[in-house]
A and B are shown apart, each in its own frame.
Chain A
Amino acid sequence: MLLENTSLALASLQSNKLRTMLTMLGIIIGIAAVIAIVTIGNSMTRSMQEMMASFGVNNIDLYAFSEGEAEEEQTQPFSFKQEWLEDMLEEFPGEIKTVSVDSSIGSATLEHNGKTVNTDVIGVSAGYLVAKDVELIAGKSISSMAYSIGTWDCIVSDLFVELALGVSPEQAVGKSVELNLSGSGLQELHISGVYHFDFDSWVMNYGDRTAKREEVSTEVYIPYRTAQEFMDAPDELSYFTVVATEGTDTTDLAERLMKFFNDKIPDETHYTCESYSMQSMIDENNKSMGQMTLAISLIAGIALLVGGIGVMNIMMVSITERTREIGTRKALGAPNSAIRIQFITEAIILCLIGGVIGIVLGIIFGMIGSKLMGYNGEIAVWSIFFAMGFSMLIGVFFGYYPANKAAKMDPILALSYE
């Protein structure tokens, strides 16, 4: 019966292709709009999540801010004390994987084959590579010994190796490079490890589409202890990052860490500690993206509503045109329910075909839109099922009234209809 109704519906829709197409247009536009919007929204969310995740989902940044006047801030420099950090590790056992501390000591250059290679030199603690998820593709990490005594061992990017040495990452390990530190002159560094610099995601994260690969300034990591010698206030620690262990509720831990340090900071300093967890930022971002998608989808929903009314209208025309057929079917023994199902099926199929076309167009536009906005196109699979289900629902909803009208026709009147 379902098969018959389907082929009947297809035959009927085929018999008037232009009308069918025009009727579907409303559904097509509505569904295409929803799918395109959801695809773009999804692509944006995914890209942002990836970007944020690249900064570390388990990271909690802790900063100190001055509550007081600007002058006060100047006269009373603030620092997290070393023993507070040790207390923290004791206070939250099992929740903290490591602590990352970093401080940039400025840019450095290197001349190679007449070209200038730019870098930023950053002093880091051992936890930094964990916090920033820096993975070595060659060599090994800086030894804990080197961290504690402050050697000139360093970790550089593969791009730097390529530009400054013209060798593969493996060949670069163990080599020395001479960097011109701005304001401090030449310094020889010893390459311990090489990490991969992802130019494409750098472009995406920083949004500088005009940047040239060979001009990008990549980061060179040296032990924090070494970098301290270049700092004005080497013992000052105004921010640091805590890496939570896997599975920890970082949003909650961030709250507790903030409270812990605010209890530590003496009141008279007028400083207060604030914490940011990447997870809470991602949550926040997802929430606002979701709201935006919902709002625009509602507008697209209006297009669908108009499309649905179009379907209802054409179904009314169709049953009027086919009054005799309905009368004949009834005379041949079709119960009212069979007539009703026949026309509802027709409406559903009309909407489903429109829905499929809309989905295809929506995905195409969504992918193009995402690319134009600089995101990797990412189809939201749920939206396809949702669109199919919704177009079916429109078919049932807007097909029911005309179908019911057909079902309730008086066979005698229907048979004598001219």
Chain B
Amino acid sequence: MSLIRLENIIKKYHEGEENELEVLHGVGLNIEEGEFVSIVGESGSGKSTLMNIIGLLDRPNSGSYFLNGQDVSETTDNERSRIRNQQIGFVFQTYNLIPRTTAVSNVEVPMMYAGVPKRERTERAQWLLERVGMKERMQHRPEELSGGQKQRVAIARAMANSPAILLADEPTGALDSQTGRSIMDLFHELNEKEHRTIVLITHSLPLSEETQRILTLMDGRIIGDRKGKYASGKH
């Protein structure tokens, strides 16, 4: 059973209007548990839209989406909130940490919405921050952290409720190459040691070659599905 299965996903904007625009023309894909997959495409290829659909932030116009065996195509807003909270860990290009809030509190946010008691989630948040190498800066606010540090906090936050997948959208896009490298190393480590399923959305071919599997998206269709050249940790 695939962890993620998309079948014939069609996404249109402004449906039924004059300026109707079909962005995804029947995308289908399978992602297995423990895989490190990248979805590569030029800007305008529809990869952001695909990410939003996988991340349950957006609904397709037609097609089915099975997450962990559950059909999530027809779910209410509240159910989608809960699924995002429990199953999906977002890592954004621009980190999107909550301003004026300490690193540890940021990591606690998904657990707060999951109803985890305060003490338990603080402990787990501290453990997660340690795990991503942020032990020394737990009480720092985003404003006091560098880009790489912010992204580490964001990754810790994404793992807060042990989601089924980490969904990383250009996670190194705003970082210098050295820092970006260390973030990629962290993803590899999480994939190899903890068998976390990671979906990396990127326009960078060199980065995607590091992953086990590369899905190439072009003009709203998947046109390629192959192994990464430098996969299995040899980078």
Q: What residues make up the interface of A, taking CB atoms closer than 8 Å to B?
A: 1, 3-4, 8, 11-12, 15, 324-325, 327-336, 338, 411-412, 415
Contact = CB atoms under 8 A, between A and B. Distances in A.
B166 to A, nearest CB: 13
B100 A12 contact: yes
B71 interface: no
A43 to B, nearest CB: 45
A1 B115 CA distance: 8
A338 B113 contact: yes
Closest 8 CB pairs of A and B: A333-B85, A328-B96, A335-B81, A333-B113, A332-B110, A333-B84, A331-B90, A411-B57
Interface of B: 52, 55, 57-58, 77-78, 81-82, 84-86, 90, 92, 96-101, 109-110, 112-114, 118, 157, 161
Contacts of A336: 77-78, 81
B55 A331 contact: yes
5 contacts: A324-B96, A325-B99, A328-B98, A332-B90, A333-B113
A4 B99 contact: no
A15 B58 CA distance: 33
B113 A332 contact: yes
A332 B77 contact: no
Given A1-B112, A412-B52, A412-B58, A335 B100 contact: no
Contact of A11 (B52, B85, B90, B101): B101
Contacts of B55: 331
Contacts of A334: 81, 85, 113
A338 B81 CA distance: 11
Contacts, number: 62
B57 A331 contact: yes
Contacts of B96: 324, 327-328, 331, 415
Contacts of A325: 98-99
Contacts of A332: 84-85, 90, 109-110, 113, 157
B109 A329 contact: yes
A329 B106 CA distance: 10
Contacts of B58: 412
B112 A330 contact: no
Contacts of B81: 330, 333-336
Contacts of B157: 332
A409 to B, nearest CB: 12
B101 A415 contact: no
Contacts of B98: 325, 328-329
B100 A331 contact: no
A334 B114 CA distance: 9
A81 B157 CA distance: 97
Given A11-B100, A332-B109, A415 B92 contact: yes
B77 A15 contact: no
A333 B82 contact: yes
Nearest to A5: B112
Contacts of A12: 100
A335 B114 CA distance: 10
Nearest to B109: A332
Contacts of B118: 3
Contacts of A1: 112
